[in-house]
Amino acid sequence: MAVEKKVAAGGRGAHQKWRVLTCKVGLDGHDRGVKVVSRALRDAGVEVIYAGLRQTPEMVVEAAIQEDVDAIGVSLHSGAHMTLIPRILELLKERDASEIIVFGGGIIPEDDALELKRLGVAEIFGPGTSLQAIVEFVNRGFQQAA
Amino acid sequence: MGPGYTAGVSYDESEMNLAGDLLAGDVRALARAISLAEDRDPQATALVAELQAHTGRAHLVGVTGSPGGGKSTLVDALVRVIRERGRTVGVIAVDPSSPFTGGAVLGDRVRMSRHTLDKGVFIRSMGARGHLGGLAAATREAIHLLDASGRDVIVVETVGVGQSELEISSLCDTVVLVLMPESGDAVQSIKAGILEIADVYVVNKADLSGAEKARRLIQDAVAMAPKKPWQPPILLASAVKEEGIGPVWEAIESHRAFLRQSGGLEERRRERLKQEVIALVAESAREDARRAVEGDTPVGRLLRDNRNGRLNPYSLAADVRAMRPARGAEN
Amino acid sequence: MAVRKKSSREEWEEQSQAGKQPARGRGRTISGMPIEPLYTPDDLRGWSYEEKLGYPGHFPYTRGVYHSMYRGRPWTIRQFAGYGTAEETNRRYKFLLSQGQAGLSVAFDMPTLMGYDSDDPLSRGEVGHCGVAIDSLEDMETLFGGIRLDTITTSMTINSPAAILYAMYIAVGEKSGVKPAQLGGTLQNDILKEYIAQKEYIFPPEPSMRLVVDTIVFAAREMPRWNPVSISGYHIREAGSTAIQELAFTLADGMAYVEATIKAGMPVDDFAPRLSFFFDSHIDFFEEIAKFRAARRLWAHIMRDRYQAKDPRSWILRFHTQTAGVSLTRQQVENNISRTAYEALAAVLGGTQSLHTNSMDEVLALPTERAAQIALRTQQVLAHETGVTETIDPLAGSYYLEHLTDEMERGARRYFERVDEQGGVLACIENGFFQREIADAAFEFERQLEANERIVVGVNAYQEKEGSPVPTLKIGRETEQGQVRRVKAVRERRDNTSVQNRLVELKVAARGSQNLMPALIDCVRAYATEGEIMAALKEVFGVYREPILF
């Protein structure tokens, strides 16, 4: 089922389609999750810009701005999430692009996930999250579940 | 302000600011403008129209070829060469969208990752969004916007399926066709008449065994085709090893120089302008037709209530053409 | 007219279909192989014990690589560990050695695995997180401080920069009076699977293969107790492949290394006995056991028939196993203890030489001490209480298992043909063959889970409301800061001219074709840092950009 135009969900701009940048930050190469999620988002009607492995926060934010995305999905497995994700949020703020939503996945312990959400991350999807949950998140306009 | 804006959008997208910021080199303005073009938002058309005076400078290079040929890797290598020569670049990478879901995984940017932080390079990924021929409708406008923003070279990369080779030649000054060494690829291109379109041939993955054979095949085919003023060079390269890329860029530059001298550049521009006018008219006519047959119109109602399939599409089309909805009414 | 009496089989078939009930369960292994409700001698028609199994320690080694297997000596418990600073890890090693463990296993942090010094901007946030940070020989000396290297064996899990860490280990040995020939251990050093699955690659495939061959040749000549490569299927499986793919791609990689080393001029029997393997043990019980047995049989035939190895030790596939990280769930983590136990049982019934059992909380972070201890005890219960070690290859002769073993072998051979058709392993890596197969298998796996065609307890069945977060291990920021200070101090203290000269010599050697190990050992002795050595090699070899595939 294709995702309906974001206008209905109160999208950020007048985009016809959701545009999401997916990427891995950190030095490791576990890309199974980010690739599976990218495919699932595509199947849900999203335009996914896959930015690849070993992206730095600076690269992620620059690419997100050039691609004018609605959201950034970051996958992390190396334990550096408390350094790298806040840095992404910080850079978005510096570039006046804080309306780009950030969500994360991978190996992120629950207490860290809570802290990241407090800092402004929309959602953290731990291991075992169903693809359906992620698609529903997109359908809600990248808002957390009620 | 168009539909769909919510409170809290921090970027002021009024037409005047976008144009000014874009001309001043603001990356976000450029990115937002391209999005408007992708959405077929009337603001985009107005913006492009306003920026017309600032276009016409950039060298427009199209890169096409069948999937798996290594186009993105080649474009990545070309960007490096272009940057070494001190020019700025804009890349538009078009990938097919799923005809069923409308979504897409746009996986060209990832191959150009090393240029992300280079201020002289702007990369934009676009989904074809169901556009017939494979090139996004907004590609034209994106090219204009990148041109107006001051990029010296604009590279449009697309998958060569269906008619997109033709389309790309109508959008660009120089068309580069990228082929793989398996002889099948070269033969198919020759059969499909692509020879008419390409200005530079690159046999990529030149380290593989069929490379020289493919080159000869194309050479023979070119030799047999009617002689044209520009003889397209056929180059071997390995994009992944970054070998042979300098000569590819030089060939592209030679072609541009040739066009300038021969008046070909002007001719292409004229042709492009013509095609663009046709495309714009066709697009809006298509949109009108769609609204007519899907909306609450006499024709629309007739089609929806149709039970016995006896309607005549030709007379209905004539009816639609005669209808002509007023401009600006309930968009 | 006499009515033929129904055979028992026919009777059973009728009864089992009575009421036309649909089959429960999947009817397929987790890798998609069909499973019949029943296996009988009919399924093994034409099957020969001598040909298919033989005896333990005898060709084709299906039943085990050694004559007495666990009756002689149990598998080695080798729990992968390492975190933080070399000092902390050194303390942990000394503790483990005092508890009687004679095999050490080194896990390195991501910056070390990727060839970056701890003070490199790209290392930010990752120093000491999933392993120990090693920037120079000094860290290595600290790591093994007070430990006689000739009294232990060490397994180092590192790939792209493996030759450098190998050189450091050798240098540590030499400095404490232990000759290279006395050193025993294993280097993972399996670069091909990085391109296929784990993606911790740095250089392009060809120069990477050259480095691996250099280490194999060096070990064959100088270090008879050292296993220079641990050809790995674990990462391939964890990336989402099926069991057959894991088996096939791993052995294909092995063949690529054998061929490359033979091409470099080494007779096969000079190095093949020291090649070792590393497999996953996943949750589909019988499929895994079949996989291990098929692996041994396949490799024996490959080495004897394809590469004409004459020494029986070249025919033997020895392997380490790790239970499947990817089968663990975040929900109800205690269930992971059961999963790990079943997977460990499969590995032991499959004849593994050494085993690592995952801790239950590994899906969240590095294991806590309590979780690590349970994982260790799991193996001890298995070894001492279950009795499965009392006889060798106890499941041999099972109609199901032998059928499955044969199917595994068949499936792997089909893949070998496809790889050969495409021009070999390197060609397949370049055209993305392995990556596509794995991506498709991973997506299918996920789809089955989503569609509830596959049940995972706690995830899509028997769910519970989420409790409070399980306490996890945290690495503080001080580790990174301390390490940054240390590496900067090393750069100041050492003779920098000497370092520069060694690096230049390394580059010269790299451009040529001589074995790089001596030059690398010289570099590490001079206290060149890992990052500096990698940078020098990157200048010569370039970096790899992978074909992106979905």
Q: Which tens digits make up the pLDDT trace of B182-232?
A: 756 667 766 666 667 789 999 998 877 788 888 888 888 888 777 788 889
pLDDT of residue B272: 85
Q: Which tens digits make up the pLDDT trace of B268-283?
A: 888 888 888 888 888 8
Domain count for chain A = 1
Q: B303 vs chain A: nearest CA distance in angstroms?
A: 25
Q: Give the number of other Cβ atoms within 10 Å of residue A101's Cβ.
A: 21
Interface check for C362 against chain A (CB to CB < 8 A): the answer is: no
Residue in C with minimal Cα distance to A79: C129
pLDDT mean across residues, chain C: 91
Tally A–B CB contacts below 8 A: 118
Domain count for chain B = 3
Res A2 pLDDT > 50: no
CA C523 – CA C517 distance, rounded (Å): 10
Is residue B136 included in any domain, yes or no?
yes
CA C547 – CA B138 distance, rounded (Å): 28
- Amino acid letter, residue B129: R
CATH code of the domain covering residue A55: 3.40.50.280
pLDDT of residue B132: 59
Interface check for B98 against chain C (CB to CB < 8 A): the answer is: no
More confident residue, B57 or B66: B57
Domains and CATH numbers, chain C: 58-450 (3.20.20.240)
- Name the helix (H) or strand (E) containing A20: strand A19-25
Q: Which residues of C touch A26 (CB under 8 A)?
A: 110, 125-126
Is residue A14 included in any domain, yes or no?
no
Looking from the CA of C459 toward its CB, the CA atoms found within 13 Å total 25
More confident residue, C478 or B47: B47
Cβ atoms of C154 and C178 closer than 8 Å: no
Tally A–C CB contacts below 8 A: 99
Q: Of B237, B262, B287, which marks where a domain is finished?
A: B262
Chains touching A, CB cut-off 8 Å, 3+ pairs: B, C
Res B133 pLDDT > 70: no
Predicted confidence band of residue C487 (pLDDT cuts 50, 70, 90): very high
Is residue B267 included in any domain, yes or no?
no
Q: Which residues of A touch B4 (CB under 8 A)?
A: 5-7, 11, 13-15
Q: Which residue has the tokens 């798996």?
A: B68
Percent of chain B with pLDDT over 70: 85
Whether residue B182 is found in the same domain as residue B303: no
Contact B35 A15 (CB under 8 A): yes
Contact C122 A127 (CB under 8 A): no
Tally B–C CB contacts below 8 A: 12
CA A124 – CA A106 distance, rounded (Å): 8
Provide the β-strand partners of residue A101: A71
**Which residues form the domain of B321?**
277-326
Q: Of B12, B38, B53, which marks where a domain is finished?
A: B53
Is residue A24 included in any domain, yes or no?
yes
Q: Which of B14, B89, B113, B126 to mutate to test the interface with A (most CBs of A within 10 A)?
A: B113
Whether residue B290 is found in the same domain as residue B148: no
C residues 400-459 near B, CB within 8 Å?
430-431
Tell me the mean pLDDT in the region A28-37: 88
Res A14 pLDDT > 70: no
E-state strands within chain B:
59-64, 89-95, 104-106, 121-127, 153-158, 174-179, 200-203, 234-236
Is residue B38 included in any domain, yes or no?
yes
Tell me the mean pLDDT in the region B156-166: 72
CATH code of the domain covering residue B257: 3.40.50.300
pLDDT of residue B214: 85
- Name the helix (H) or strand (E) containing B104: strand B104-106
Whether residue B102 is found in the same domain as residue B223: yes
Is residue B92 included in any domain, yes or no?
yes
CA B111 – CA C20 distance, rounded (Å): 54
Interface check for B105 against chain C (CB to CB < 8 A): the answer is: yes
The token duo for C4 is: 């033929």
Whether residue B25 is found in the same domain as residue B151: no
The token duo for B17 is: 């600011």
Q: Which residue has the tokens 């950030």?
A: A102
Interface check for C330 against chain A (CB to CB < 8 A): the answer is: yes
Predicted confidence band of residue A23 (pLDDT cuts 50, 70, 90): very high
Whether residue B10 is found in the same domain as residue B63: no
Tell me the mean pLDDT in the region B230-252: 93
CA C23 – CA A71 distance, rounded (Å): 44
**Which residues form the domain of A92?**
19-139
Contact B105 C550 (CB under 8 A): yes
Is residue B270 included in any domain, yes or no?
no
pLDDT of residue C24: 60
Whether residue B143 is found in the same domain as residue B214: yes
Percent of chain B with pLDDT over 90: 37
Is residue B272 included in any domain, yes or no?
no
Whether residue B306 is found in the same domain as residue B245: no
Q: A77 vs chain C: nearest CA distance in angstroms?
A: 9
Q: Which of A21, A68, A138 to mutate to test the interface with B (most CBs of B within 10 A)?
A: A68
Interface check for A48 against chain B (CB to CB < 8 A): the answer is: yes
Report the Cα–Cα distance between both ends of chain B, in Å, rounded.
Answer: 13
Q: Which residues of C touch B107 (CB under 8 A)?
A: 548, 550
Residues of A with CB under 8 A from a CB of C: 26-32, 35-36, 38-40, 50, 52-54, 56, 78-80, 82-84, 107, 109-111, 126-128, 130-132
pTM for this one? Answer: 0.83
C residues 498-527 near A, CB within 8 Å?
none
Q: Which residues of C touch A31 (CB under 8 A)?
A: 199
Residue in C with minimal Cα distance to A55: C122
Q: Of B262, B294, B316, which marks where a domain is finished?
A: B262
Tell me the mean pLDDT in the region C260-274: 96
Phi, psi of C184 (to 5 degrees): -120, 140
ipTM of predicted assembly, 2 dp: 0.90
Whether residue B67 is found in the same domain as residue B190: yes
Whether residue B153 is found in the same domain as residue B212: yes
Residue in A19, A42, A66 closest to B123 by CB: A66
Is residue A48 included in any domain, yes or no?
yes
Res A13 pLDDT > 50: no
Is residue A6 included in any domain, yes or no?
no
Residue in A35, A79, A130 closest to C126 by CB: A79
Res C495 pLDDT > 90: yes
Is residue A58 included in any domain, yes or no?
yes
Q: Which of B35, B38, B43 to mutate to test the interface with A (most CBs of A within 10 A)?
A: B35
Q: Which tens digits make up the pLDDT trace of C163-189?
A: 999 999 999 999 999 999 999 999 999
